[in-house]
Amino acid sequence: MKRWRGNPWAVLLTLSLGFFMSLLDLTAVNVAIPSMIDDLDASLDRVLWVINIYILVLAALLITFGRLGDVHGPRTMFIGGVALFTVASVLCGLSQDPAQLIAARAMQGLGAAALTPQTMTIIIGTFPAERRGTALGVWGAVAGVATIAGPTIGGFLVSTAGWRWIFFVNVPLGAIVLAMAVTLVPDVRHGTRHKLDVPGVLLATATLACLTFALTEGQRYHWNAGIWALLGGAALLLVGFLVHQRTRQGGEPLLPFVLFRDRNYAVMSFVSATVQVGMIGLFLPVMIYLQSVLGFSALKAGLVMAPAMVVSAVLSPFSGRMADRVGGQYVLMTGLSLFAAGMAWLTWVTGVGRAWWEFQPALIVAGVGIGCVFGPMVTVAMYNVEPKMAGAASGVLNTIRQIGTVIGSAAVGAVLQNRLASSLQNEAADRAAGLPAGVRGQFVTGFDNAAKGGLEVGAGQTGATLRPPPGTPASLAHHIQQAAASVFEHGFVHTMRPTLALPIAAITVGAVSCLLVRCRQDDSPRKAPAAAEAGTSA
């Protein structure tokens, strides 16, 4: 193994496996939501925190760990992050209630935050300038493949071994990555030591915590004054964070504003956030729909996404070359437009009683779009970044990506719960007319109260937990259960359209913003040496 130590491609493989592992759980958990709800006796809003706490910790601490990598060495932080993530995965799999799982997921997010920014830093420090664009393209492609592979892999594990194995599978993978990191990854440092901006960390964390809690729990608390106060507090904290960072620009800021003087970096940071909103918006409601409305198993629901995953994986390595020939701006705009078009098509196809193959054309179009996004997006963003700024640039870019994930997950979850509560009430009122007069009131009231404790949408919850009164004749009880299931199925389908409209709009805005990308000759990987030399001497 010694002869492979420091080999750029061996290093890239190691970093990609670690990065893949940390991203896989983002979407793999979505396919397990119905099973978690049933097994842990949890409501939708509590299980949403299983997703959101991971993203929250990851987003809040990425910049911090980017700086710590500069201080202690990115190799050290990468190894520590992989080790912590692996241990936390074991605790996630052993959790017996939602609180334990949420705590373990927070630890997982801490490990992911430690390892993620180091991957880009080590790539920039390991690869020569003329091959750096290709390496960053592969790194970006891993992000896309991991995100879209999550539902398929997660569905297979949930159906064959149970939802806990979504986390247990990380243990052998983590052990392999640790062994490879210790033996293959060199200690890459640029000689500049950075101080940690603790007030900045606290302000950023508080901002994200207020925003995520308000959006996730808003429906449970009926969007009362406390929820709006948290949203207002998040806005004020954000302003405070930016003002604080402005005062530190001459020293060691947590957020170096100089990064955003590069228009392409600034635009790609925004685009990366919109893409994450779209990814979460695609997987969260669609996975629940496939299992709870259409009755697909977790494996079948995951396999529905498999063709799109394969298309994305095949196209990703070539998207960087295509960007080199026709310009990253045009590849990105095409990819984002196809992604939005595929999701819009999926919204149109969605209905009760659909077959799996009816979704494939729309999902394949979305998969083609995703395959043309991640590689060019990262390459364009990082191309003009100096190596000594790699840690900060990586941390900031990944933080903005995960902020998009936080906002996407929380906002889509909030819209989903809000619209589902309204749709269930309307459907219940319509279908109650077909029931005997003596049970209509209880039937409608049961759905009117569906959102009070957090909506339950597990695989076994399509009847919305309604129970006929004791002594109800069997034929009438069956009729009531059928009506309840029909209310849920049609109510959720009506909910899908406004819910998916949010991520579709976000992706469309991202596509339009690509018009601001500055097309330069040094955007091409073939021109990298000159750009890198200029950046190094600056």
CATH of the domain at 351: 1.20.1250.20
Q: How does the average pLDDT of the chain come out, rounded? A: 81
- Whether 536 maps to a domain, the answer reads no
Question: 397 in helix, strand or coil?
Answer: helix
Q: Which of 60-74, 77-91, 260-274, 444-458 has the lowest mean pLDDT?
A: 444-458
User: Same structural domain for residues 360 and 484?
Assistant: no
**Residue type for position 317:** P
Do 46 and 104 belong to one domain?
yes
Residues 177 and 326 in one domain: yes
Evaluate whether residue 496 is within a structural domain: yes
C-alpha to C-alpha distance for 371 and 511, rounded to whole angstroms: 15
End-to-end CA distance of the chain: give it in Å, rounded. Answer: 37
Q: Kindly report which listed range (68-77, 89-98, 429-438) carries the lowest average pLDDT score.
A: 429-438
Indicate whether 192 belongs to any domain: no
Same domain, 133 and 252: yes
pLDDT, tens digit, for every residue of 258-286? 889 899 999 999 999 999 888 877 777 88
Predicted confidence at residue 535, as pLDDT, reads 36
Q: Does the pLDDT value for residue 4 go beyond 60?
A: yes
- Does 177 share its domain with 306? yes
What the block records as the tokens of 107 is 């630890």
Please report the pLDDT score of residue 182 as a whole number. 92
Whether residues 514 and 469 share a domain: the answer is: no
CA distance 192 to 170: 34
For the ranges 33-37, 135-139, 466-470, 533-537, the one whose mean pLDDT is highest: 33-37
Q: Are residues 337 and 264 in the same domain?
A: yes
Structural contact between residues 201 and 188, judged by C-beta atoms closer than 8 angstroms: no
DSSP 410-425: HHHHHHHHHHHHHHHH
pLDDT band at 448 (very low <50, low <70, confident <90, very high): low
Q: What pLDDT score was predicted for residue 426?
A: 86
Look at residue 537 and tell me if it is in a domain.
no
Burial bucket for residue 473 (CB in 10 Å: 0-12, 13-18, 19+): exposed
pLDDT in tens, 171-209: 999 999 999 999 998 887 655 556 677 888 788 878 877
Q: With bands split at pLDDT 50, 70 and 90, how would you rate the model's confidence at 450?
A: low
**Quick one: tokens of 26?**
């983002």
CA distance 318 to 538: 32
Number of domains the chain is built from:
3
492-522 pLDDT, tens digit each: 899 888 899 999 999 999 999 999 988 654 4
Res 520: pLDDT:
55
What is the number of helices (H) and of strands (E) in the chain? Answer: 20, 0
**Is residue 469 a part of any domain in this protein?**
yes
Task: Say if residue 534's pLDDT is above 60.
Answer: no
Same domain, 408 and 287: yes
Residues 210 and 339 placed together within one structural domain of the fold = no
58 and 80 fall within a common domain:
yes
What range does the domain containing 80 cover? 2-186+248-420+492-528
Would the pLDDT of 338 be above 60?
A: yes
Asked whether residue 40 is assigned to any structural domain, the reply reads: yes
Q: Same domain for 499 and 434?
A: no
The residue among 216, 232, 247 that closes a domain is: 247
Tell me the mean pLDDT in the region 468-472. 61
Q: At 451, which amino acid appears?
A: A
Rounded distance between C-alpha atoms, residue 243 and residue 120, angstroms: 28
Please tell me whether residue 140 adopts helix, strand or coil conformation: helix
SS3 91: helix
In a domain, 534, yes or no: no
- DSSP class of residue 260 equals G
Q: How far is it, in rounded angstroms, from Cα 401 to Cα 158?
A: 27
Average pLDDT over residues 210-236: 84
Instruction: Decide if 451 is inside a domain.
Output: yes
Stretch 417-437: mean pLDDT, rounded?
A: 82
* Residue carrying structure tokens 């404790």: 453
Shared domain for 145 and 160, answered yes or no, is: yes
